[in-house]
Chain A
Amino acid sequence: MTAQTTPERRPDHLTLALPKGRIMDDAIALLSQAGLPLTRPEASRALRHEFPGVTVLELRNQDVPVYVDLGVADAGIVGKDVLLEAGRPVYEPVDLHFAECRLSLIREIGASGPIARVGTKYPRAARAYLQERGIPAEVVKLSGNIELAALTGLADAVIDLVQTGSTLRANHLEEVDVLFHSSARLIVNRTALKLRRERLRPLIARLRELTAPAGEES
């Protein structure tokens, strides 16, 4: 096979890609509010959950854009930070306004030397930012506890997610700049939006109503 084909699925069946963990709970609560017959899966080792007319795939969040872009899932929910880093050409019709955070440039409090090396889990976003600012720094891709890179001198600065800022304060770090604000997004496969629009269009509309910030017309 040269192309990504999926086993036969009825056009009225939906396959959703959701990231495991807390986003999954919030996502399932929101999707069932929007009318999908989903319940929180009981704690089990199952990675694929079947509901009437809907299949939910439980994935690592970085994999959600991949499953949706390749059409194995019709739609998914994932943070904008992960989506930007994935660079996948999926539709992203709804900002779900949860899992809010920001991607920031972080340094040790008082650090003022030039930035020659940046540690991050987001090399793509980091490179784009540094290039835009004309900072000729090298980017080191790391996998976790990014703050340590700044504290140990592995890097002169780090680019990482900030939710409340309390971890930063506890580690004598400060936000120097904000690259962008992130929140959970509904993403949709380009073919699925067209061929399964009878199911996806109403879902998109309902999710927009449910997540529109108070005081804003929908």
Chain B
Amino acid sequence: MRRVSVSDPLPFSAPLAAGGEALSTSALPAGVRDVLPAEWERREHLRSHLSALLRSWGYRGVDLPALELADPAHPQGNHAFKLIDSGGQVLALRSEYTTALGRLVGTHFPSGPFPLRLQYGGRLWLRTQTSELGRLREFNQVGAELIGVTGVQADAELLALAHAALGQAGVQAQLEVGFPGFVDAALTDAGLPGPVRAALHDAIDRKSGADLDLLARQHGVSPEVTRTLHSLTELYGGPEVLTEARVLARGVRAEQAVEHLSAVHAAAQEAGVELLFDLGVSRRYGYYTGLTFRAYVDGINQPVLGGGRYALPGGLPGAGFAIGLERLAAVMPAGVPSEPETVLALDFAAATAARAAGLGAELAWTGDEAELRHYAQARGLRRWVQGAELRDVTPADLKIATEVNA
């Protein structure tokens, strides 16, 4: 017989977590969640249609590993989940796609053929996201990258493609174009040294006139330059912004930026895409080298799409965008997608025939009619079919309920 010692855990105690609290089996880490059938249906419908659209524009799919070697130079390096490999190496869970795609291109397509059009889709993880609505720590993106070419037409193609993708989801979105280099050029042209520029970038990005004035006072920025900086925070709206920017642009870099944006605007108009502009957008991601863009939808606080032009290691140019699947699915109009009706098949022949006819079919698992009726009602299956000729055998009471609903 086993003697119970006083140090034995009490037989009725709950399993203990590391912190000593009872571990709930229904618990999940913050910022992750289960996706249930209704949302899964919408999201997968969206994913497959987006990917088909991208393919029809010539963007071929690639798949990238979710596990990467941790790299301190990675733009999201500080925000990625880290794991330790068996050899002690630090790994990171994928936190962003463009860098990974750049690696893939460098390995498998070092000499093209360019332009290289690639699409990708999958999950990303961010450790530091506050787990608020719209900022999950585990989320899905679909994206497209156009590698190896640069210029007005390439930028306009991506804007038109982004527009088409959002239109296909049935979402009324507004594309806005920025050019972080414009702010940087304006600051450089004003002769401001590096450390001051970083603080000013941040103030301009927040459109904070008060902080601009404070920094200008602290660093002895002339009143004239300060006025220019204030103007940068006002450069948002329709195409009229480009006219205002042209007046502000002093140096060659700033002038070239405005010229480029004007040409992109003209090309986008030809494609039927209306653009907004914000030339006060300032380096939220350090790696963008040219234009950046995002899509706003009324009623959602985060952009549903974001992208821009960058340079891959070795100088290969690229540009692309990613769509936040959860965000876009949340603003997709109700009623999309229309699911095919699912019927309850009483035998295999009926199930095969129903599927051949484009219906969904679930097989009956019992002959007990009461049990089947109970299940069909809970699951919303209105039609029962039998035999290869799909004889309707729906019980009368269920039929009446269906007709009343219809």
Residues of A within 8 A of B (CB): 1-6, 8-9, 11, 69-71, 80, 89-95, 183, 185, 188-191, 193-195, 197, 201, 208
In whole angstroms, what is the CA distance A23 to B209 when docked?
21
Known: A2-B133, A185-B210, A194-B276. A93 touches B300 (CB 8 A): no
Residue B291 at the A interface, CB < 8 A?
no
Evaluate contact between B296 and A194: CB separation under 8 angstroms.
Answer: yes
Least Cβ–Cβ distance between B285 and chain A, in angstroms? 13
Determine the interface band of chain B, counting residues with CB < 8 A from chain A. 20 to 34
Evaluate contact between B302 and A3: CB separation under 8 angstroms.
Answer: yes
Known: A70-B301, A194-B236, A195-B174. A4 touches B210 (CB 8 A): no
User: Residue on B with the closest CB to A208?
Assistant: B209
Residue B317 at the A interface, CB < 8 A?
no
Least Cβ–Cβ distance between A63 and chain B, in angstroms? 13
Chain A to chain B: the 3 pairs with minimum beta-carbon distance, closest first? A71-B301, A95-B210, A3-B134
Evaluate contact between B296 and A195: CB separation under 8 angstroms.
Answer: yes
User: Residue on A with the closest CB to B236?
Assistant: A194
User: Residue on A with the closest CB to B39?
Assistant: A2
Evaluate contact between A194 and B176: CB separation under 8 angstroms.
Answer: yes
In whole angstroms, what is the CA distance A156 to B139 when docked?
45
User: Residue on A with the closest CB to B211?
Assistant: A92
Evaluate contact between B233 and A93: CB separation under 8 angstroms.
Answer: yes
Task: Name B262-287 residues within 8 Å CB distance of A.
Answer: 276, 278
Report whether over half of chain A's contact residues are helix, strand or loop; otherwise say mixed: mixed
Task: Name B292-315 residues within 8 Å CB distance of A.
Answer: 296-303
Known: A69-B301, A93-B233, A194-B176. A3 touches B208 (CB 8 A): no
Evaluate contact between B132 and A197: CB separation under 8 angstroms.
Answer: no
In whole angstroms, what is the CA distance A89 to B324 when docked?
19
Give the residue of A5, A80, A91 whose beta carbon is less than 8 angstroms from that of B300: A5
CB pairs A–B below 8 angstroms (9 shown): A2-B33, A4-B133, A4-B302, A80-B210, A92-B207, A93-B209, A93-B233, A94-B210, A195-B296
User: Residue on B with the closest CB to A180?
Assistant: B214
User: Residue on B with the closest CB to A7?
Assistant: B299
Residue B235 at the A interface, CB < 8 A?
no
Residue B136 at the A interface, CB < 8 A?
yes
Evaluate contact between A201 and B300: CB separation under 8 angstroms.
Answer: no
In whole angstroms, what is the CA distance A91 to B202 when docked?
11
Residue B219 at the A interface, CB < 8 A?
no
